[in-house]
């Protein structure tokens, strides 16, 4: 059985220096998770980003998001994590 796919959409606070300092940890966090089907990156204007990935279930997906350095450092204005069913 294929694991469910999730979409994580987030928008940043207007704190470019703190964001820039946290980017390497954010990138390393998602790389280290080695989640199947991972695809992610920032929006062109750097106001936020989108990450899609597969996880065993919603709890595993939430854990991946909750340990994101952007969230832990309080850099997100708003975020959504949704199970996604691409067609």
Look at the chain and count its residues: 87
Q: DSSP character for 85?
A: -
Residues 6+ apart with CB under 8 A from 21: none
Q: What is the pTM of this model?
A: 0.92
Q: What is the mean pLDDT of the chain?
A: 95
Of the pLDDT bands very low, low, confident and very high (cuts 50, 70, 90), residue 3 is: confident
d(CA 9, CA 43): 10
Q: Give the per-residue pLDDT at 49.
A: 97
Bridge partners for 8 per DSSP: 51, 81
């Amino acid at each position: 059985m294929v694991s469910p796919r999730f979409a994580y959409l987030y928008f940043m606070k207007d704190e470019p220096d703190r964001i820039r300092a946290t980017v390497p940890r954010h990138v390393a966090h998602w790389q280290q998770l080695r989640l199947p089907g991972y695809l992610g990156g920032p929006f062109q204007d750097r106001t936020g980003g989108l990450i899609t990935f597969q996880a065993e279930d919603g709890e595993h997906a939430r854990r991946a998001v909750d340990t994101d350095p952007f969230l832990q450092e309080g850099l997100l204005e708003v975020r959504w994590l949704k199970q996604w069913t691409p067609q």
